[in-house]
Amino acid sequence: MIAKSRRDAGQAFPIYVVMVAGLLFLVFAFFAVGKASALRNGAQGAADAAALAAAQQAREDFEGPFRASLPEDLLDAFLQAHPIPPGACSAAYSLAAANDARVEDCHPMRGGYTDRIKVDVEGRKPVDSSVLPGSERTFAKATATAVIKFRCRWTSVDYNDDSIRDMFFFRCGKDFLQIAPSKFPPWSEVSKILYDVHLVGN
């Protein structure tokens, strides 16, 4: 009876080993999936931050051309034909780096009153799991797109009849702005009313 019990225990031991090895594999696999998910979320956060930073920088850089277009009533031409300033993507690179990622592509898309900047990023930390072959070379990737939208209607007045506009009146949703090109208010005060910046789905 004792010999049989020892023999049964000896036969069961390899099964226990296999079961424990299988459980350990599942634990490491779940850990790898969780790490990959966390890295993916981090990359998406970096992409969102980079796209928003690029859009906000573009809005800041619109100040000079926007102001220059007002006196001769060229605002509509500026809104339709303006390029997105190159500094916008520089801001995307900086924000991505601050969030432990690197920009693979920053693609401005001009569209008249609504511009877009699409940013693709890759995280700097690999998944690097012993149970996933090749994961040491696998990095999380993400994409985000931000919009810079001119949100106002306007009229202009030439008080002196000299072909130079003296006053612009902007209706931006519930906000109203009165801007004289000769006494332009600080851009930081009016740009967030004139332009809406937000993320959109890709």
pLDDT digits (tens, 9 = 90+) for 105-149: 999 998 878 999 999 999 887 755 555 555 566 788 899 999 999
- Residue 58, judged by CB atoms within 10 A of its CB (0-12, 13-18, 19+), counts as buried
Per-residue pLDDT at 32: 54
The answer to whether the Cα torsion of 86, 105, 136, 101 is positive or negative is positive
What percent of the chain is predicted at pLDDT more than 90?
54
Give me the residue label for tokens 């004289």: 180
With a CB cutoff of 8 Å and minimum separation 6, the contacts of 59 are 148, 191, 192, 195, 197
pTM here? 0.78
Instruction: From 61, 54, 51, 45, select the one nearest 100 (Cα to Cα).
Output: 45
> Who has greater pLDDT, 195 or 5?
195
